């Protein structure tokens, strides 16, 4: 049995990895503090109110993490124009025939786990597969909605013009109680995304063994040597 | 009510009723503070009430419980009630006028004719529109009809209570009588919404006095409420706020924590999402307000608050899923399905992709055998 030859390809630039892990950290903090805010546990009973500011701190942490994730999201938006082909905005929207073809392949091969008879080497994505990329685009839209509802909830008590820009969302959605509801509900969608995303990363690493997990740390993925142009083959891997 | 009364000023009317000028000045000081104006404005308010002619008021009652009127007559300053009920020349109000039947109706018609374009129309209660509006009729006419007629000559409309402002309990799901708030029917008049179930008496008076003094409608928020009274969340003016910030919450009504006066957030308090003056004005001569009495705010001054239940839970129910479901219930199902799907997928992968996995492991093992060292 012949062994396959793989080459290292630099897929995730430092900016992308930086964005990814800051987002991971912020989301974990936001989810935990968010659920505490929604239904505070009885942690702090029997102290004097004047000696404690626990809930205030939890809210401050939630708001700080929210601003942090918004800042890196903005940075990622910039990188969608400045970054490499795998970070480019056009990679995330499946408007081309090629992208649709890849999505169909991924659904067949990786979601339904069927054998794709017309399988070729091109189908194995180097960066994101196009279905995953599209799911990140959808998550990006949901993130914008989550950020806007959060800022709308903050607008009334904030002294800053930025959250105040989103005050119009409150009457549009029928009052703060509804804004709060959707902000809370979307948290579950984000958690669902995390479960699916982490599972599929593990799945790809398990089945393809191309360094899917470590790629978001090192930036490198392993790609079949046949995918690299011949004249480049002399380069060091 | 005679026409001569309408040529009086507010001060004239009060002196005639036996109040002293000192009583008048006390009232002016008090209402100026309640309107959120500076102390230096007292003289201006006094001057306006001394010199301006009284504004006639028509007060219509439709689908309502009269709770707003009840709240109104419990104002904590005697002149507050008098200045509206008698001195502002309330020309028509089903509940409080002495006249009845045809006399009352013709008095209203006369007043509306004489003061066309000048009177304030106060509306209490929602307006049913289903089946030709038959679910609320007064003197054989539907509420829609009466409202349109009364609104035609009004300089401005003030809606007292959540029913006339947002539809209230009769417009709550499933709204069997097709009830709508006033602004769904009257589009061409300035409308000041004074919601609450009921609103605070001094707020009701303050809005009327504001219009009487300045002749303009006060600054309104995004859903039509005067900002001077509805500009702050109950949460931000709540005396239990320090307990919220400290993370001290009552878990149930009879608990030790509830007795200590801890924050009612976990009992579904709507204070953080409700804009009203309860926290600083309070009710019944400043005696108390719901939270002070140990019960969470139900958000009665917010749009469609009856549908935002259950009142004692933080998350509202959403209908339309067949069952009543909160975000947490739906979220747990979605997350559970995703996790279960992932687990099944993992098992299926090992079955359906066994050949690929086996091949790559075998080739890897082969390589392992041929390592240099």
Residue A200: inside a domain, yes or no?
A: yes
**Closest CA of chain B from A184, distance in Å:** 7
Same domain for B221 and B244: no
Last residue of a domain, one of B180, B198, B228: B228
Asked whether B267 and B193 are in contact (CB, 8 A), the reply is no
CB-based contact A75:A15 (threshold 8 Å) = yes
Question: For chain A, what is the domain count?
Answer: 1
How distant is the Cα of B34 from the closest Cα of chain A, in angstroms? 22
Specify the pLDDT at position A14: 93
Mean pLDDT over each residue of chain B, to the nearest integer:
85
> What residue of B is the nearest CA neighbor of A205?
B357
The DSSP letter of residue A109 is: I
Chain B nearest-CA distance from A204, in A, is 10
Verify whether the Cβ–Cβ distance A56 to B246 is below 8 Å: yes
Q: B343 vs A107, A196, A211, B204, B269, CA distance in Å? A: 17, 10, 22, 60, 40
Residue B333 CB-half CA count within 13 A: 5
Q: Is A188's CB within 8 Å of B334's CB?
A: yes
Band the pLDDT of B152: cuts 50, 70, 90: very high
For residues B180 and B51, membership in a common domain is answered with yes
Q: Cβ distance B158 to B293 under 8 Å?
A: no
Strand partners, A204: none
Are B354 and B290 contained in the same domain? no
- The answer as to whether A9 is a domain residue is no
Contact A1 B366 (CB under 8 A): yes
Interface of B with A in 233-272 (CB under 8 A): 233, 236, 242-249, 251, 257, 265-266, 270, 272
Q: Which domain holds residue A39?
A: 25-208
Within a domain: A164: yes
How high is the pLDDT of residue A21? 96
Which pLDDT band, with edges at 50, 70 and 90, does A234 fall under?
low
pLDDT at residue A27 above 90?
yes
pLDDT recorded at residue B4: 44
On the question of pLDDT at A236 being above 60, the answer is no
Interface test with B, best of A169, A175, A176, A179 (most B CBs within 10 A): A175
CB burial readout A169-185, b (16+ within 10 A) else e: bbbebbbbbbbbbbbbb
Residue with structure tokens 């912020």? A26
Q: Is B304 on the interface with A (CB under 8 A)?
A: yes
CATH of the domain at B277: 4.10.480.10
Q: 3-class DSSP state for residue B83?
A: helix
Is ipTM > 0.90 here? no
Helices (H), chain A: 14-38, 54-82, 97-106, 130-155, 161-164, 169-173, 176-208, 212-218
Q: Does one domain contain both B194 and B241?
A: no
* B89 shares its domain with B194: yes
Residue of A nearest to B314 (CA): A38
CATH code at position A77: 1.20.950.20
Cα torsion A112, A115, A117, A119: sign: positive
- C-alpha closest to that of B117 among B152, B146, B157: B152
A184-202 pLDDT, tens digit each: 999 999 999 999 999 999 9
Average pLDDT of chain A to the nearest whole number: 87
Tell me, yes or no, whether B67 lies in a domain: yes
* Residues B296/B271, Cβ–Cβ less than 8 Å: yes
Closest residue of chain A to B333, computed from CA coordinates: A188
A233 is a domain residue? no
* Owning domain of residue B52: 3-228
- Asked if B250 and B305 sit in the same domain, the reply is yes
Residue for token pair 């009973």: A45
Contact map slice: B 67-126 vs A, CB within 8 A: none
Residue B85: the pLDDT is 61
B89 and B154 both lie in a single domain? yes
Binned at pLDDT 50, 70 and 90, residue B320 comes out as low
The pLDDT of residue A145: 95
Are the Cβ atoms of B248 and A52 closer than 8 angstroms? yes
Residue B3's pLDDT is: 45
pLDDT at A1 over 70: no
**Residue A54 CB neighbours (<10 A):** 16
Contact in structure between B124 and B60 (CB atoms under 8 Å): yes
Give the separation between CA A41 and CA B150, rounded to whole angstroms. 54
Contact B316 A58 (CB under 8 A): no
Tell which of B228, B259, B275 closes a domain: B228
Using a CB–CB cutoff of 8 Å, tell me whether B332 touches chain A.
Answer: yes
pLDDT at B322: 53
Number of structural domains chain B divides into: 3
Query: Which of B200, B228, B256 lies at the terminal end of a domain, its last residue?
Result: B228
Side-chain half-sphere exposure of B195, counting CA atoms within 13 A = 31
> Which tens digits make up the pLDDT trace of B54-80?
788 888 889 999 899 888 877 766 676
Structural domain includes residue A7: no
How close does chain B come to A82, measured CA to CA in Å? Answer: 34
The reply to whether B220 and B240 lie within a common domain is no
Which chain B residues are within 8 Å of A114, Cβ to Cβ? Answer: 352
Name the more confident of A146 and B14.
Answer: A146
Whose CA is closest to A88, among A192, A181, A4, A15?
A15
Of B243, B332, B342, the CB nearest to A196: B342
Q: How many helices (H) and strands (E) does chain B have?
A: 15, 11
Whether residue A100 lies inside any domain: the answer is: yes
B180: helix, strand or coil: strand
């Amino acid at each position: 049995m012949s062994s396959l030859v793989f080459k290292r390809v630099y897929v995730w630039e430092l900016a992308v990895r930086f964005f990814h892990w800051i987002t991971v950290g912020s989301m974990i903090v936001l989810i935990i503090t968010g659920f505490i805010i929604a239904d505070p546990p009885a942690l702090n009973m029997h102290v004097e109110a004047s000696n404690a500011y626990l809930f205030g701190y939890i809210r401050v942490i939630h708001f700080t993490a929210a601003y942090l994730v918004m800042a890196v999201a903005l940075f990622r938006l910039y990188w969608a124009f400045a970054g490499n082909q795998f970070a480019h905005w056009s990679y995330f929207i499946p408007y081309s025939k090629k992208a649709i073809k890849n999505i169909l392949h991924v659904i067949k091969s990786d979601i339904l786990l069927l054998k794709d008879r017309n399988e070729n080497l091109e189908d194995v994505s180097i960066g994101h597969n196009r279905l995953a990329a599209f799911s990140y685009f959808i998550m990006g839209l949901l993130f914008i909605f989550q950020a806007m509802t959060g800022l709308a909830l903050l607008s009334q008590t904030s002294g800053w013009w930025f959250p105040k820009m989103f005050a119009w969302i409150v009457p549009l959605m029928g009052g703060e109680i509804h804004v709060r509801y959707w902000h809370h509900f979307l948290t579950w969608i984000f958690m669902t995304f995390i479960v699916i995303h982490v599972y599929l990363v593990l799945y790809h690493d398990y089945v393809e063994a191309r360094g899917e997990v470590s790629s978001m740390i090192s930036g490198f993925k392993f790609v079949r040597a046949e995918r690299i142009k011949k004249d480049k083959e002399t380069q060091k891997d | 009510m005679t026409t001569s009364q309408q040529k009086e000023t507010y001060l004239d009317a009060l002196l005639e009723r036996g109040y002293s000028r000192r009583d008048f000045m006390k009232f002016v000081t008090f209402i100026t503070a309640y309107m959120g104006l500076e102390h230096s404005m007292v003289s201006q308010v006094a001057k306006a009430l001394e010199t301006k002619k009284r504004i006639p008021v028509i007060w219509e009652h439709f689908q309502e419980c009269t709770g707003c009127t009840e709240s109104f007559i419990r104002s904590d300053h005697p002149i507050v009630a008098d200045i509206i009920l008698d001195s502002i020349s309330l020309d028509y109000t089903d509940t409080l006028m002495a006249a009845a039947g045809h006399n009352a109706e013709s008095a209203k018609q006369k007043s509306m004719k004489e003061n066309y374009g000048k009177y304030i129309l106060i509306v209490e209660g929602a307006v049913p529109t289903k089946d030709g509006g038959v679910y609320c009729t007064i003197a054989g006419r539907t509420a829609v009809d009466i409202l349109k007629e009364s609104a035609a000559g009004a300089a401005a409309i003030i809606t007292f209570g959540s029913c006339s402002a947002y539809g209230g309990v009769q417009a709550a799901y499933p709204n069997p009588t097709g009830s709508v708030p006033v602004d769904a029917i009257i589009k061409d008049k300035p409308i000041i919404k004074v919601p609450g179930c009921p609103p605070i008496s001094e707020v009701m008076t303050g809005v009327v006095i504001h219009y009487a003094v300045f002749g303009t409608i006060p600054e309104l928020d995004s859903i039509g409420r005067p900002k001077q009274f509805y500009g702050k969340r109950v949460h931000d003016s709540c005396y239990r706020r320090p307990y919220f910030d400290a993370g001290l919450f009552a878990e149930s009504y009879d608990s030790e924590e509830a007795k200590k006066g801890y924050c009612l957030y976990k009992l579904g308090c709507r204070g953080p999402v409700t804009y009203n003056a309860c926290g600083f004005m309070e009710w019944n001569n400043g005696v108390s307000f719901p939270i002070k009495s140990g019960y969470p705010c139900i958000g009665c001054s917010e749009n469609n608050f009856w549908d935002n239940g259950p009142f004692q839970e933080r998350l509202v129910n959403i209908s339309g899923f067949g069952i009543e479901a909160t975000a947490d219930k739906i979220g747990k199902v979605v997350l559970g399905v995703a996790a279960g799907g992932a687990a099944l997928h993992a098992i299926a992968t090992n079955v359906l992709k066994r050949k690929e996995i086996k091949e790559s492991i075998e080739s890897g093992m082969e390589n392992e055998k041929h390592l240099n060292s």
